[in-house]
C-alpha cells in the first residue's frame, strides 16, 4: 500500500501545481488589466465542458471506437471474467462492448460503477489468453472503481482553462497596452499551457500505475497483467490506431498507448513506459527478473 499511497499524494500534489499555475495566471491578468472577468468566464466554460464530458464519458469513448454492445451469448469469456471480478469487488456489472478493430487495446469508462462500460477491441481478444485478459479487465475495472474518469476530467478542465487564458493573453495582450514586463508575459503565454499539459500527463500516468497495482490485487495475479502488457506493447507497435482527433481525445482511457510512440511522442505520452509498468508488476509478484 505504500506505493499506492505515494501515488495518491503525487496526484494531489500535481493538482496543486496545476491550480497554482491557473491562479498565477489569474493574478497576473487581474494585476495587469485591473479586471479578471475573462478568467472567470473561461473557468465557467471549462467547468461546463468538464461536466458534459464527465457525464457523457462512456458514450463519447464508445462512439470514438465505433464499439457495439455485446450479450453474454456473443462474448461469454469476457462476460464471465467481468462478472467474477465485479462480484469480488462487490460492484455492479458494467455494460460490455467490443470495438471492431485489429489494434489490440481495452478501456473502461463511465462516471461511476453504476454507469460504467468496459470495451475490448477484437484485436486484444484474439491476442490474449484467458488469464491475460483477466489481468487487463481487472486493470480497467479499477479505473472505474478509483473514479479515474473524474480525476482525468478535472485535470483536463484545469489544463484547458490555462490554455484558453494563455490564448486570450496572446491575442489581446493581457488586457493592457502598458505591460511593464513583455518578456514575462510571453513566457506566461507560451510556457503555461506546456506546463499544464505536462502536469495533466503526469496525473494520467500516475493513475495508470495505480490501476495496474489495484487490478493485480483484484485478480491476485500480477504476472498475468505483466504478460498481457508485454504482448500489448508489441501489438500496438505493429497495429497502431490512426491519430484522429476523436481517438486522441480518448486515448488516455486505453490500457496501452494506441499510437506510435517514437521520438518526441514519448515525452507527451499519456501512459508511463511499458517496461516500467511490467517491472513494477513483477516486483509485486516477487519475480523482478522474470
d(CA 223, CA 205): 20
Query: Nearest CA to 59 among 241, 208, 246?
Result: 246
What is the Cα 250 distance to its own chain's centre? 8
Could you list the active site residues? Answer: 140
CA torsion sign for 6, 8, 13, 18 is positive
Give the DSSP per-residue string, 206-235.
HHHHHHHHHHHHHHT-HHHHHHHHHHHHHH
CA angle 53, 58, 60 (to 5 degrees): 60
**Three cell numbers, residue 243:** 491519430
d(CA 186, CA 43): 21
d(CA 190, CA 214): 37
In order of 70, 77, 133, the CA distances from 73 in angstroms are: 8, 9, 18
Q: Are 131 and 226 in contact (CB under 8 A)?
A: no
Amino acid at each position: 500500500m505504500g506505493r499506492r499511497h505515494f501515488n495518491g499524494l503525487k496526484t494531489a500534489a500535481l493538482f496543486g501545481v496545476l491550480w497554482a499555475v491557473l491562479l498565477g495566471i489569474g493574478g497576473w491578468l487581474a494585476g495587469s488589466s485591473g479586471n479578471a472577468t475573462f478568467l472567470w468566464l473561461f473557468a465557467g466554460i471549462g467547468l461546463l465542458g468538464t461536466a458534459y464530458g464527465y457525464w457523457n464519458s462512456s458514450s463519447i469513448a464508445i462512439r470514438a471506437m465505433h464499439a457495439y454492445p455485446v450479450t453474454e451469448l456473443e462474448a461469454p469469456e469476457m462476460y464471465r471474467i467481468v462478472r467474477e471480478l465485479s462480484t469480488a469487488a462487490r460492484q455492479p456489472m458494467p455494460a460490455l462492448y467490443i470495438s471492431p478493430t485489429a489494434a489490440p487495446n481495452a478501456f473502461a469508462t463511465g462516471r461511476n460503477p453504476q454507469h460504467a462500460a468496459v470495451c475490448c477491441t477484437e484485436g486484444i481478444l484474439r491476442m490474449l489468453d484467458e488469464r491475460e485478459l483477466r489481468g487487463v479487465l481487472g486493470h480497467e475495472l479499477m479505473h472505474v472503481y478509483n473514479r479515474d474518469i473524474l480525476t482525468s476530467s478535472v485535470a483536463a478542465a484545469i489544463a484547458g482553462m490555462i490554455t484558453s487564458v494563455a490564448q486570450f493573453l496572446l491575442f489581446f495582450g493581457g488586457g493592457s497596452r502598458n505591460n511593464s514586463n513583455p518578456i514575462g508575459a510571453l513566457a506566461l503565454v507560451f510556457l503555461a499551457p506546456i506546463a499544464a499539459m505536462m502536469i495533466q500527463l503526469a496525473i494520467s500516468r500516475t493513475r495508470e500505475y495505480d490501476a495496474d497495482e489495484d487490478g493485480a490485487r483484484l485478480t491476485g495475479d500480477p504476472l498475468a497483467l505483466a504478460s498481457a502488457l508485454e504482448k500489448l506493447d508489441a501489438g500496438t507497435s505493429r497495429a497502431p490506431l490512426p491519430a484522429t482527433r476523436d481517438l486522441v481525445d480518448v486515448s488516455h482511457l486505453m490500457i496501452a498507448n494506441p499510437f506510435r510512440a517514437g521520438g518526441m511522442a514519448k515525452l507527451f505520452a499519456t501512459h508511463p513506459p511499458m517496461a516500467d509498468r511490467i517491472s513494477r508488476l513483477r516486483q509485486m509478484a516477487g519475480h523482478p527478473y522474470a
